[in-house]
Structure 1
Amino acid sequence: MKEVDKIAFIEIKNGQILSTKSKGKTKYYIPGGKRESGETDEQTLIREIAEELNVRIVDNTIKYVGTFKAQSDGAKEGVIVKMTCYKAEYDGFMEPTSEIEEIRWLNYKDLDIVSEVDKKIFKFLKENGELE
């Protein structure tokens, strides 16, 4: 079984979670991405969010939320995504970069348009009273 190691940025406002849709994709994903060789979770989070949303994560505000695993969307059976999630404060104005087609705030009723691992994260946040 192959595991894809990803880091995700959890940003919740008014019971909704920040999600993005990459160019050429049909589903929305919690912002973040794959770790590069030798990177820590924090370094991956800071780099990926700068690349996707054009904001700077404030590194001393990073807080672990949880780790979730599910079948990887669009991959052959048995390829698992491990998503390690963090909340953090950021500086700047969020805007989509060249790889992101759309930024959208989603809530629990939007499960049908997110990835399998994001569904697990949405359920966790809903159970904790953070997501509407």
Structure 2
Amino acid sequence: MIDKIAWLHPVDGRILSTRSRGKDVFYLPGGKREPGETDAETLVREIREELDVAITPESIAPAGVFEAEAHGHAGTPVRMTCYTAEYRGTLRASSEIEEVVWLTYGDRGRVSAVDQIIFDHLREIGQLG
């Protein structure tokens, strides 16, 4: 099981997404915990590394846990624990991130399997157009 933390940041019917160098699909920003890290610490660190912005810790709120087969890892499940949060700074690709985009439900085929489930959820609750 791959266990990841992700930032859900929907705005005006679109969701913030990223593509890492050498990857062919988009992923919600976030990543794996370092030893001893809490979910909130992981979220703050990963978003700072990937998008060069500061998550506001007191704004972090749970947004669901989703599971699917990990992209590019046949037979390996991924669990994505998602959070919403506010941030300070200007979003920009950093570290391994090559592209930062705003996706709609029409882009569902361009994201990983677990992100597709999250897209479905966001569409159902009216946050993704």
TM-score, length basis structure 2: 0.98
Structure 2's unaligned 5+ residue stretches are: none
Counting only pairs closer than 5 Å after superposition, residues 24-103 of structure 1 correspond to structure 2 as: 24-77=22-75, 79-103=76-100
Spell out the pairing of 1:113-124 with structure 2 (5 A cutoff): 113-124=110-121
Distance 1:119 1:98 in 2: 24
Equivalence for 1:10: 8
- Matching residue's letter, 2:35: S
Q: Does 1:125 align with 2:122?
A: yes
* 1:31-63 Cα distance to aligned partner (Å, 9 max, x none): 000111111100000000000000000000000
Q: Once the 2 structures are TM-superposed, how far is the Cα of residue 111 of structure 1 from its aligned partner?
A: 1.1
Identity of aligned residues (%): 51
List alignment gaps of at least 5 residues for structure 1. Answer: none
Aligned length: 129
| Alignment root-mean-square deviation, CA | 0.6
Matched with 2:19 is: 21
**3-state SS, counterpart of residue 128 of structure 2:** coil
Equivalent-residue separation in structure 1 for 2:74 and 2:127 (angstroms): 32
Structure 1 residue 92 displacement after superposition: 0.6
Q: Which runs of 4+ in 1 moved over 4 A?
A: none
What is residue 107 of structure 1 aligned with on the other side? 104
TM-score w.r.t. structure 1 length?
A: 0.96
Q: What amino acid sits opposite 1:23 in the alignment?
A: R
Shift of 1:76: 2.7
Counterpart CA distance in 2 for 1:34 and 1:59 is: 18
